[in-house]
Amino acid sequence: DTGVSQNPRHKITKRGQNVTFRCDPISEHNRLYWYRQTLGQGPEFLTYFQNEAQLEKSRLLSDRFSAERPKGSFSTLEIQRTEQGDSAMYLCASSPGAQDEQYFGPGTRLTVT
């Protein structure tokens, strides 16, 4: 299967701990997006990369959040000092280019206790 993959699929952590999620986009897709989805809501944009460059960050992305895409391949999203309000589904999507359709991965469900 050559779709977008995300790991882990589910993460349970205690408040105050750091967590890191990984996204592997579809091969040769230049754009990679991170979204967050809470129960009963549509996904909300967090940030995106054009190759290895992070070009935009949402105001939802506080200083505790950092994302990287070294070498323009996979991406990681780290949350430091997690809070209960960070509990959500974190979704990654990739697209071939700027105005192309975005394909989503299965998501990482984060539960902060």
Partner 1 sequence: QKEVEQDPGPLSVPEGAIVSLNCTYSNSAFQYFMWYRQYSRKGPELLMYTYSSGNKEDGRFTAQVDKSSKYISLFIRDSQPSDSATYLCAMSGGATNKLIFGTGTLLAVQP
Piece in contact with partner 1 (CB under 8 A), picked from 12-20, 62-70, 71-79, 86-94: 86-94
Tokens of 106: 């299965």
Q: Which of 14, 42, 59, 63 contacts partner 1 by CB under 8 A? A: 42
Residue 49 interacts with partner 1 (CB under 8 A): yes or no = no
Tokens of 69: 């895409």
Q: Which of 31, 36, 49, 86 contacts partner 1 by CB under 8 A? A: 31
Residue 91 interacts with partner 1 (CB under 8 A): yes or no = yes
Neighbours of 12 (CB within 10 A): 12
Going from the C-alpha of 111 to that of each of 62, 66, 71, the distances in angstroms are 18, 18, 30
Going from the C-alpha of 37 to that of each of 42, 87, 91, the distances in angstroms are 6, 9, 7
Give me the residues that bind partner 1 (CB under 8 A), please.
Answer: 4, 6, 31, 33, 35, 40-45, 48, 55-56, 89, 91, 93, 95, 98-99, 101-107, 109
